[in-house]
Amino acid sequence: MKLEIKKHVPIAKDVYEMVLDCNVHMKPGQFINIKINDSHIPFLRRPISVANIEGGELTIIYKVFGEGTKELSQRKVGEELDCLLSLGNGFDISIKEDSILLVGGGCGVPPLFYLAKELSKKGKKITSVLGFSSKEDVFLEKRLGEYGDVFVTTDDGSYGIKGNVMDIIKDLDFDYYMTCGPEAMLLALKSNYPKNGQLSFEERMGCGFGACMGCSCETLTGYKRICVEGPVIKVEELI
């Protein structure tokens, strides 16, 4: 599907917010797969989680890591992107628990905004803990604050609390957690809180819709493809 760029602005160091003209329903935690250009370089599409859907517009927030996202950052308002939509298995927000902790690390923060918005509609009490490298990397703190308390950590202590998200979480009370971020953070959460959680994995994907099997991971119920059965997996399923 061709989607027109309606807005495209930097919001932190090497981090961009892009709004696309798109009237679609997606679950929090699902992603889109973007074709960067019409050549074979870069060959693969770029999977990017959805940060918000509202008023016929779909918002993504991404960080420039390599040549693909660097080229994406140079696209202009009015241009169109070739996108595959509504990919992956999102967060299950039908949970019975009332006090929900959202944990995001770096590029894992964007899907939490849409998730917080949808959870708030169900009357959930939301607390967010966000981890970044430094002050210049911080984004979405104020917008997530619309839905509950927000705590920010930075590795160098230049903003918020010096340390990582685990330093904050140990002092919080919550019934259930949902998280997205680097694998080390997800594994730390799984180790310390092995029940009542959902983890969204960041993984390199070949196709984005389950054909190539390149992003498979082993779970207690067999191998699952991060791009189809994931990227969100319940913590009790993980080995």
Q: What is the pLDDT of residues 135-160, one digit of tens each?
A: 999 999 999 999 999 999 999 999 99
Provide the mean pLDDT of the chain.
95
- Domain coordinates in residue numbering, the chain: 2-87, 99-202
The CATH code that applies to domain 2-87 is 2.40.30.10
Q: What is the pLDDT of residues 52-70, one digit of tens each?
A: 999 999 999 999 999 999 9
Q: What is the pLDDT of residues 199-223, one digit of tens each?
A: 999 877 778 888 888 888 889 988 8
Q: What is the pLDDT of residues 3-40, one digit of tens each?
A: 999 999 999 999 999 999 999 999 999 999 999 998 88
Fold of 99-202: Rossmann fold (3.40.50)
Q: Cα separations (Å) of 127 from 56, 102, 119, 139, 202?
A: 28, 6, 11, 16, 22
Question: In the prediction, which pLDDT does 239 show?
Answer: 84
